Homo-oligomer: A and B are copies of this chain.
């Protein structure tokens, strides 16, 4: 279905011709829904015409994936970080890029990092790696020969959802990630909302429960103390007086263990209040919850909706809340989208 969005058929021919010649678009058969007349020639992007690599840097691990033009993962691999010095890590990045490319030509490399990044190039501050003021994109570009872009991992993840994920139809949506930290990303008026502070972790100590436990920084019932997977595991372990990890805590809650249920529901209610705040301030058309700890949102669904209801006007409509996977490779798709966007916009940096 060659839908001509606001474009005359003449212009469409003119514009698609070079893309077909260049191998980016391809005719994929014909379509005729029983009506009279010549059938339409279906055009589809040849999403495998180009390849990109996305990587997520964590404190002790690099995850890498090769994707096509749509951010779909074709190959992935990870490696442990033992030495956090930029030189060593950049060497590991270059090796990993070579491994996941499998000899294919890579058009761009995107890297997502939890921290403060400037201009999709400089790591201003990434404390979990001990890095600051590092021109990472240029260094990796030189080491790999691939045009490279860097950004905050949540920016990258949000861009993925915006271009190819659950938010692709929306002009306005929010992303919340659960795990060892709580992340937030926002798209409004068709573009991601960022600022100089982005990457500090602005919702990490959001007050969720005035009667909740204290976090290390002294906030009562903040996201870190109520919602983080470590905190949840710890609270359940303390209640049961035996070691429990995050997944174990969720299992117990799902099986009806009252102590675990209470901790999980407190977390769910807190998350709901955060979602209510997001809805009240940013009026999203959709909320996407993802991250390693997303299973919490599946198990505490009722508590989440109770938390939302507590802080919203009863007349307000709550947008659909979609839950993603806990797969860590998803972060790589986000990182790859940084490169895909630069490719599409003709903004890929020149290497060498």
Which A residues fall within an 8 A CB radius of B? 172, 184, 186, 188-191, 193-198, 200-207, 210-211, 273, 277-285, 311-313, 315-317
CB of A141 to closest CB in B, whole Å: 28
Q: Choose from B190, B194, B201, B282 the contact partner of A281 (Cβ within 8 Å).
A: B282
CB of A219 to closest CB in B, whole Å: 8
Contacts of A277 in B (CB 8 A): 206, 277, 281
CB of A196 to closest CB in B, whole Å: 6
Please state if B315 and A193 are interface contacts (CB–CB under 8 Å).
no
Please state if A285 and B195 are interface contacts (CB–CB under 8 Å).
yes
Contacts of A312 in B (CB 8 A): 202
Please state if B283 and A184 are interface contacts (CB–CB under 8 Å).
no
- Alpha-carbon distance between A307 and B282 when the two chains are bound, in angstroms: 21
Please state if A280 and B203 are interface contacts (CB–CB under 8 Å).
yes
- 25 A-B pairs with C-beta separation under 8 A: A172-B193, A184-B280, A186-B281, A188-B282, A189-B190, A193-B283, A195-B283, A195-B284, A195-B285, A197-B313, A197-B316, A200-B313, A200-B316, A201-B313, A202-B280, A202-B281, A202-B312, A202-B316, A203-B280, A206-B311, A207-B273, A210-B210, A277-B277, A277-B281, A278-B281
Copies of this protein chain in the complex = 2
Contacts of A193 in B (CB 8 A): 172, 188-189, 282-283
Q: Choose from B188, B200, B273 the contact partner of A188 (Cβ within 8 Å).
A: B188
Contacts of A172 in B (CB 8 A): 193, 195
Q: A203-B280, A282-B282 are in contact. List 4 more A-B contacts (CB 8 A).
A: A189-B190, A197-B317, A202-B316, A204-B313
Instruction: Write the chain B residue with the least CB distance to A201.
Output: B313
CB of A246 to closest CB in B, whole Å: 24
Instruction: Write the chain B residue with the least CB distance to A211.
Output: B210
Contacts of A201 in B (CB 8 A): 313
Instruction: Write the chain B residue with the least CB distance to A202.
Output: B280
Contacts of A198 in B (CB 8 A): 283
Contacts of A316 in B (CB 8 A): 197, 200, 202
CB of A325 to closest CB in B, whole Å: 25
CB of A218 to closest CB in B, whole Å: 10
Please state if A317 and B190 are interface contacts (CB–CB under 8 Å).
no
Q: Choose from B186, B205, B273 the contact partner of A313 (Cβ within 8 Å).
A: B205
CB of A63 to closest CB in B, whole Å: 26
Please state if B282 and A186 are interface contacts (CB–CB under 8 Å).
yes
Q: A190-B189, A206-B311, A311-B206 are in contact. Are A184 and B317 (CB under 8 A)?
A: no
Please state if B283 and A206 are interface contacts (CB–CB under 8 Å).
no
- Alpha-carbon distance between A10 and B313 when the two chains are bound, in angstroms: 55
Instruction: Write the chain B residue with the least CB distance to A198.
Output: B283
Please state if A281 and B203 are interface contacts (CB–CB under 8 Å).
yes
Instruction: Write the chain B residue with the least CB distance to A313.
Output: B200
